[in-house]
Amino acid sequence: MSDQTRTEYYARVGAMDLSPLWTTRLVPPLPRDQVKARPHLWDYDRVVRPVLLDAGPLITAKEAQRRVLTLENPGLGGSHRILESLYAGLQLILPGEVAPAHRHSPSALRFIIEGDGAYTAVSGEKSVMKPGDFIITPSMTWHDHGHEGAGPVVWMDGLDIPMLGLFGAMFFETYPDDSQPQRRQPGDSLARYGANMRPVGESWSKPESPIFSYPYERSREALEQLRRTAEWDPAAGLKLEYIDPTRGFSAMPTISTFLQLLPKGFSGTPYRTTENTVYTVVEGGGRAIIGDGDDAIVLSWRPRDIFAIPCWVPHRLESDDDATLFSFSDRTAQVKLGIWREDRGNA
């Protein structure tokens, strides 16, 4: 058949809202043939923080709804994504401000970067924010933020917006008032479920953890205890996952969250996984070495820096000091879909 005949055929079926599958490749041999996101690092103290603080006098938290600078992956063309399936941004709140209550279908996490005196209220329960804390805002739960202390407070927002965008299941509502009524005392959910116990006669059936706030102090102490007893993972050091204590699942239904410790002088083995991962440095300094040989890229990180590793990108971690990293990824969603893979060989 001539090229002209084929061209005419393709034009004819195109006019019928059809397309010939054989002219394209929907499933590439490897993720790298489709994934456009790039490994990237955001230098918090020297680059991001100054311009984020400049937004303070520019617009109020109430006027903006949320005063956030989105972390845009340079390979994704201003699509409001830090990686293919994940959104991340840095939110600033100043003393005396309230970010008005609203709710939405995407699930969100907060990881506190700096400052004291702010809180987030989820379903009527306030959680005080301290650096290193991990806080959950489940899908379609009312939440607002406020600042009752001094100085700026900044946290990272992580959401599953790109995932929900594929389904189109986006909903957003504003609360009638700036703040929702307080229904439980601060720390109530942690007291009910945070000690491997739960109130008699009470059950939990929602897809997210009943604990909304995971204080850094507790999580960091767990890593310190394991330092003396556990075997170190050759690629990840000591790495713990935040979970729903009632069932052992991931703390969030679509996003996995982790805290890991790399000892001083750690030199990790090569690793790659299909999950898209965002790291935030809590303590220490080091490097993420992407690829191998002359083509390797080195992302040098310090406390409060943020870096992103896309799907199936080979990398390894090195630390100069004891380093603690918080990370979130789409691993739990991939596991549920049966597509998650890892490679611990010479990636």
Q: CA–CA separation, 186 vs 118, rounded Å?
A: 13
Reading the chain (347 residues) residue by residue, the pLDDT tens digits are 788 999 999 999 999 999 999 999 899 999 988 899 999 999 999 999 999 999 999 999 999 999 999 999 999 999 999 999 999 999 999 999 999 999 999 999 999 999 999 999 999 999 999 999 999 999 999 999 999 999 999 999 999 999 999 999 999 999 999 999 988 888 889 999 988 888 998 889 999 999 999 999 999 999 999 998 888 999 999 999 999 999 999 999 999 999 999 999 999 999 999 999 999 999 999 999 998 788 899 999 999 999 999 999 999 999 999 999 999 999 999 999 999 999 997 54
Contact 235, 271 (CB under 8 A): yes
Q: CA–CA separation, 124 vs 136, rounded Å?
A: 13
Q: CA–CA separation, 276 vs 331, rounded Å?
A: 8
- 240 forms beta bridges with 259
* CA 59 from centroid of its chain's CA atoms: 25
Beta-carbon count within 10 A of 221 CB: 11
Tokens of 35: 């994934």
Q: What is the pLDDT of residue 343?
A: 96
Tokens of 298: 């080195």
What's the helix, strand, coil split of the chain in %, to 5? 20, 35, 50
Contact 86, 252 (CB under 8 A): no
DSSP H or E stretch at residue 217: helix 216-227
Q: What are phi and psi of 157, to 5 degrees?
A: -95, 130
3-state DSSP assignment of residue 53: helix
Q: What is the pLDDT of residue 345?
A: 77
CA distances from 35 to 109, 135, 260, 330 (A): 24, 29, 26, 14
Determine the residue type at 184. Answer: R
Rg of the chain over CA atoms, in angstroms?
A: 22
Q: CA–CA separation, 207 vs 252, rounded Å?
A: 7
**Angle made by CA atoms 325, 56, 186, in degrees to the nearest 5:** 55
Q: What is the pLDDT of residue 184?
A: 87
CA distances from 115 to 63, 118, 280 (A): 22, 8, 16
Provide the H-helix boundaries in 116-160: none
Question: Dihedral (C-alpha) 332, 337, 338, 342: value to the nearest 10 degrees?
Answer: -40
- pLDDT per residue as tens digits for the range 163-198: 999 999 999 999 999 999 988 888 889 999 988 888
Tokens of 39: 């490994």
- On average, the pLDDT of the chain sits at 95
Q: No. of H helices and E strands in the chain?
A: 7, 22
Domain boundaries, the chain: 27-173+202-343
3-state DSSP assignment of residue 82: coil
Q: CA–CA separation, 322 vs 266, rounded Å?
A: 8
Q: CA–CA separation, 175 vs 339, rounded Å?
A: 38
- pLDDT per residue as tens digits for the range 21-42: 999 989 999 998 889 999 999 9
DSSP H or E stretch at residue 61: helix 61-64
Q: What is the pLDDT of residue 347?
A: 44
Determine the residue type at 104. Answer: H
Q: What is the pLDDT of residue 138?
A: 97
Domain 27-173+202-343 has CATH 3.40.1190.10: no
